[in-house]
Amino acid sequence: MRRGSVGIVKTEYFDYEGDLKLECGKKLKNIRIAYETYGKPNKEKSNAILICHALSGDAHAAGKHTRDDKKPGWWDGVIGPGKAFDTRKYFVICSNVIGGCKGSTGPSSINPETGKRYGLSFPIVTIKDMVNAQKLLLEHLGIDHLYAVAGGSMGGMQALQWAVSYPDMVKIVIAIATTARASPQQIAFNEVGRMAIMTDPNWKNGDYYDGEPPKNGLAIARMIGHITYLSDESMHEKFGRRLQNKDMYDFNFSTEFQVESYLHYKGDKFVRRFDANSYLYITKAIDYFDLTEGGKKSLQDVFKKVNSRFLIVSISSDWLYPPYQSEELVTALTANDIDVTYIEMKSSYGHDAFLVETGQMNYIISNYLSKSIVGDIMIKDVPTLRIGSTIEEAAKLMIEKGKTHIVVVAEDGRMVGVVTAWDLSKAIVEKHRCINEIMTKEVICANQKDSIKNAAEKMERYDISAMPVIDEERRVIGLITSDSIARMVK
């Protein structure tokens, strides 16, 4: 399948006029969220996929802002026509997290109450707060269900939090190179990075926006962090012990090795695009992340009410978020009989592999999403009427709900028939009074575990535009329509 680009894209902004309550007990007023979208929503908006970024990411996940841009969005390799997150099928959304510095409200933003930049007066935010802000954005976009939420590293934490915070809203969770809670080692690396920033003389307790920012401290923090994103093997392959533009040691403290030069380059480049205070706040949010709430719950208990399907991906050479942490997630999900697929991706690139190994990422994610089932896209809000209802009641319900199909159920909730808009039109002409006289009793149905492809073929074979989804006892649990699957079967 030929893969393409989403082309030229534009960052948009959502201004929420209200208070966002935070876990720390404080509130953020009138937040702004920067976001980008790729592809189009289907009629029911059931094909939305939320992409969550990692520590240094932003809303620009795919495409280019101008034709002259040298580098596309940070996950361009897997977002676009024919790619894992196929924009011909899915409506893909990515937003910058609150606390960030790439358009969403963060410590470098203007505090509406003071007219000055927040700096350290910005309240501490958590991964859960980030997810709650994303929920506000989705409400603004008119999306009440997510087909999938996906991300790697801190993005994977957000994906997991989505499943826990909003269990009835997410169909599929794709969590890559992540964990259920930050480990002591991860917290330690983050603290060293924060100390590098806070001991820079230019940091000035976070109040540096009118002067020189703490470039040296932020550069060192990035250098430390970047080491954890690589693996010993990848560093051997990329640098070895090769010297930078020389053949002999100088026997001084200048930058001599290629690996040193590379880290300096990464640090200097990062300083030009990121805010030091945002680095402090986001790493602290990662440190606080713990689905078990400090051990108050077991990980198995955390997932008891989750209704999503899961794809958990670890990376064999990742020592920052090693595979055992993904395996803990899989064990807890399996203990709750939750549908979970686990893949340990073989790569020598370390933690960064989820960004670098686009070939493997496309294969793994595309293969998983191609196995999507009816339960992933069915509409749960199905209008129903009890058997014996009047034609007038059916017409009124159909108008109120804006639906063309109403399921008729017995006293015990079992489906006994379906009434369509066509049936009602015919009933009015023929002067019927009860839906029992006009409903279709032989109803073609689907099971929530049926493949979308098979459901589409069944609807085409019987020339129907909607099909009830029933459980083993013939109780209606959803409805699947031709509109909801039209783009999914391309």
Residues with a catalytic annotation lie at: 153, 318, 351
Strands (E), 7-90: 12-15, 19-21, 27-29, 32-38, 48-52
Distances in Å between the alpha carbon of 221 and those of 238, 336, 349, 355? 21, 39, 20, 20
Angstrom distance (rounded) from CA 141 to CA 131? 15
**Phi, psi angles (nearest 5°) of residue 20:** -100, 110
Contact predicate 481/466, CB 8 Å: yes
How crowded is the C-beta side of 286, counted as CA atoms within 13 Å? 31
Angstrom distance (rounded) from CA 299 to CA 159? 16
Query: Please, where are the H alpha helices in 103-231?
Result: 127-140, 154-165, 184-198, 215-229
- Tell me, what amino acid is at 161? Q
DSSP state of 147: E
In terms of Cα–Cα distance, which of 200, 197, 157 is closest to 320? 157
What's the distance, CA 342 to chain centroid?
A: 18
